[in-house]
Amino acid sequence: MESLPKIETDLLIIGSGMAGMSAALFAANRKINTVLSGGAGGFEYSSGLLDLWGMSLTQKGKMSKKPWDMLEKIHYQTPDHPYAKLKEEWLKKAFFELTTSLKSHGLIYTGYNALNVLVMTPFGTLRPTYRLPQTMWSNVEAFKKKEPCLILDFKGLREFSAVFFKEVMKKDWHDLRTQCIEFPDTHLRSEIFTPFIARSLEIEQVQEKFLKQVKPHLRGESYLGLPAILGIHSSEKILNTLEKELDVTVFEIPTSPISVPGIRLKETMMNVLGGSSVTLQTNQRVTKVLKASEKGFECQLGLNINPVIVRSKAVLLATGRFLGKGLYADQKKITESLFNLPVYQPKTRRQWYNHDYFNPEGHKIHQAGIETDMLLRPVGKKRVPVYDNMFAAGSILAHQDWIRSKCGAGLSIGTSFHAIQSYLQIQQRAC
């Protein structure tokens, strides 16, 4: 152990999903000496939409267009929810800071200040979200106007079917037409995937061939809808080129995983962190906790390949739930995988799930997780922080069901911003 390379840092962020990456971005903007550890999280699976809150708290099972009104209700309806610990002003600042940083690296997010928008999904349904990539803005507008529209897909593509989309949509939108075309230079492939198409479209010659293939299929439609394929790093530019050359308003439809907008988000966030105060150890998980105390933490990253010891004054835990392995469930109970922190959970396993899978109340297991104080420090039995200098953010937190309430990214962005503010507050107190 002694021989392993060592990194000294102020803050170790464990987990590089939406929560860990957002925390790293906020830490970088405040020049906090940080190490970010962990895999890519759910980015590749995520549609790339930034949800804040999408479900009504007054009408069970209904969507909500007014996320801020719902968040106000959370404070007295579900006071244990992590959102109830956040100031509205900070949550707004968090979204603004994140989207401004993304914009400065070429990824533009848009939306209304007070309202959710309804986005058309690959399943021909509508779902609420708070911020969406600029390349999807006309997706929202097109459904409202329902003017003639051509929806394209590609031979061999698995993640999106224009015909399926139209079949579900046609009851609301009569002027929809579909076409399946061959993406340039893919005639020898039996299968193609959206990330491959998106990376190919970054190349100018491929764009030219693509335009030639699409043009003959347009019959004066107002809109052209495509699965999300408009590049990884220059989606705006590609969108503008297509609109100009084809003389039609183009929009993207988010696809099922693997998702290009999710990859865009992840890679842009990595670019934002380049050259900052954050050292990226994003291919290394924390494999052992060697020391954990008020004085600081010592963690091993990696096992066999280039393991390294990180000594940090503070830790921000953003290791996610069961999929990311931040939480672990055996036959009897749920445990936290790294620090064995107390986990809020139903008393018995029988109570994990509702008998009725679609019960609008949801399942109690989804509320399990780490409880914290107002500074987002994990707490023990008497609600005393387990460590003064440990914070938690994102989906590992208890008393929230982000899938049901459609608040995945918002919860991660808001709690990671709050955790970084709390870290600074504790640092100031120590000085």
Ligand X SMILES: Cc1cc2nc3c(=O)[nH]c(=O)nc-3n(C[C@H](O)[C@H](O)[C@H](O)COP(=O)(O)OP(=O)(O)OC[C@H]3O[C@@H](n4cnc5c(N)ncnc54)[C@H](O)[C@@H]3O)c2cc1C
Neighbours of 422 (CB within 10 A): 21
Which amino acid is present at 322?
F
Peptide bond into 258 cis (omega under 30): yes
Which of 43, 143 has the CB closer to ligand X?
43
Q: Report, in Å, the least distance between residue 286 CB and ligand X.
A: 4
Q: How far apart are CB 54 and ligand X at their closest, in Å?
A: 9
- Applying CB under 6 A, the residues found at the interface with ligand X are 14-20, 37-42, 45-47, 49-51, 257, 285-286, 318-320, 323-326, 338, 394-395, 408-409, 412
Nearest C-alpha neighbor of 56 from the set 73, 39, 43? 73
Q: Which residue is nearest to ligand X (CB)?
A: 17
| Residue (34 or 46) nearer to ligand X, CB | 46
Nearer to ligand X, 229 or 286 (CB): 286
Instruction: Please give the full DSSP string across 289-325, using - where no structure is assigned.
Output: EEEEETTEEEEEE-SSSS-EEEEEEEEEE---STTTT
Identity of the residue, 64 or 395, whose beta carbon is nearer to ligand X in the bound complex:
395
- 221 vs 336 by CB, closer to ligand X: 336
Q: How far is the CB of 259 from ligand X (least distance, A)?
A: 8
**8 A C-beta contact, residue 99 and residue 266:** no
Task: In angstroms, give the least distance from the CB of 127 to ligand X.
Answer: 8
Structure tokens at 8: 């000294």
CB 120 within 8 A of CB 126: yes
Bridge partner list, 179? 152
CB of 317 to ligand X, least distance (A): 9
Shortest Å, Cβ 414 to ligand X: 10
Q: Which one, 5 or 216, has the nearer CB to ligand X? A: 5
Q: Which of 410, 429, 426, 427 is nearest to 90 (CA)?
A: 410
CB of 257 to ligand X, least distance (A): 6
| CB-CB contact of 370 with 409 (8 Å) | no
User: Which one, 257 or 360, has the nearer CB to ligand X?
Assistant: 257
- Residue 13 CA to residue 177 CA, distance in Å, equals 48
Compute CA distances 205 → 60, 148, 186, whole Å.
Answer: 51, 29, 14
